[in-house]
Structure 1
Amino acid sequence: MGELTDAADGDRGALSPTATDMSQGGRDPVASRAIAGAIALGRVGQPDDIANLVAFLASEAGGRVTGQAIDASGGQRL
C-alpha cells in the first residue's frame, strides 16, 4: 500500500469548466444574455470568481479539500 501524503504535496481538486466573461468574447450580445439568464446567479463568472476559489484551494485553509471536481459555474448546471 502506498504512503499517504499531505494534500499540499499533491492534487487538491479540479475546477469544472464554466462560462466566464473571458469565454464570451466575440459572442452576439443576445446570445451572451441568454447564457447569463440560464445561470442561477444571473451572470457569467468573472476572472476573480475563479481566482478566489483557486486561491482558497492553494491556501492552508483549503488543505483538507482533496480529489474534488469543483463546479464554480454560479449554478449553470442546476
Structure 2
Amino acid sequence: MKSVKEILEMLLEELIMYLEKSEHFDTLLVYQNKKLGDTSFLLAALLESLLKQYYIDWDEKKWIDDSLITRVTTKMIY
C-alpha cells in the first residue's frame, strides 16, 4: 500500500495533467470523473489512507471504493 504522501503526489500529478488539458468541463454531465482520469479513485485512496491513519476503529472490513466528482471549479493564479 502506498503512503499518504505518495498518493497525494499521484493525485496532484493527475489533477495538473487533466486540468491543463481541459479548457472547460461539460456542465451538462452530472459526474466529471471521465474528464479527470484517475483522480476519483486517487481521492478515495487518499481518504481511506487518512482514515486508517487517524481513526483507531477503522478496520479492514471498511473501505472506500471510488468517488464521484460532480463539479470542478478552476481558477488561474498569476
- The TM-score range, normalised by the shorter chain, is 0.3 to 0.5
Q: TM-score, normalised by structure 1?
A: 0.32
Higher relative contact order (CA 8 A, sep 6+): 1
Which of the pair is proportionally richer in strand?
1
Which of the pair is proportionally richer in helix?
2
Q: Which has the larger radius of gyration?
A: 1
Q: TM-score, normalised by structure 2?
A: 0.32
